[in-house]
Amino acid sequence: MARSHVNALRQPHLALGLSLAPGRKLEKAARNAWIGVFLVLSFFTMAAHVYQMNKSATKGYTLREQEQRLEKLKSTVAELEDHAAKNQALYTIEERVKGLGYVPVDRMEFLDVARGSYAVAR
């Protein structure tokens, strides 16, 4: 009986019919809880990282498309400016005037309107 009493004092959880000491159970539960918390935080961190990477990738594609569109618009603007410059060139205007039946002026004379001058067709 002395021996069972010593065992009961040395391992009281066995005397109470428990497989593990309550302090050890709490320690094991706390360790498992911290492992669980770490795994959950790791999962959420990875999920946030994947979400952020996908979001930045789609923004990158959108940015690239907008840059391509900007380059096309710049080339269109350059073509239109070139076309406008050609249309406003003096040579082009002279050609249009000739096409309408006007003739170039060889000699110009100015009339002084203040003195009562008149223009006469010859």
Whole-model pTM?
Answer: 0.44
Instruction: Count the domains in the chain.
Output: 1
For the chain, 122 residues long, the average pLDDT of each consecutive 10-residue run is 54 67 76 94 97 94 95 96 85 80 76 68 58
13 domain-assigned: yes
116 domain-assigned: no
Tokens of 39: 């795994």
Host H or E run for residue 89 = none
55 domain-assigned: yes
CA-nearest of 29, 11, 8 to 19 is 11
58 domain-assigned: yes
Torsion angle (degrees, nearest 10) of CA 60, 61, 66, 72 = 130
d(Cα 92, Cα 98) in Å, to the nearest integer?
Answer: 10
28 domain-assigned: yes
- Domain with 34, as residue range(s), is 2-102
Q: How many residues in the chain? A: 122
3-class DSSP state for residue 121?
coil
114 domain-assigned: no
108 domain-assigned: no
11 domain-assigned: yes
Name every residue whose Cβ is closer than 8 Å to that of residue 119 and which is 6 or more positions away in sequence.
Answer: 111
Q: What is the pLDDT of residue 1?
A: 47
C-alpha separations of 113 from 116, 119, 122 in Å = 5, 10, 19
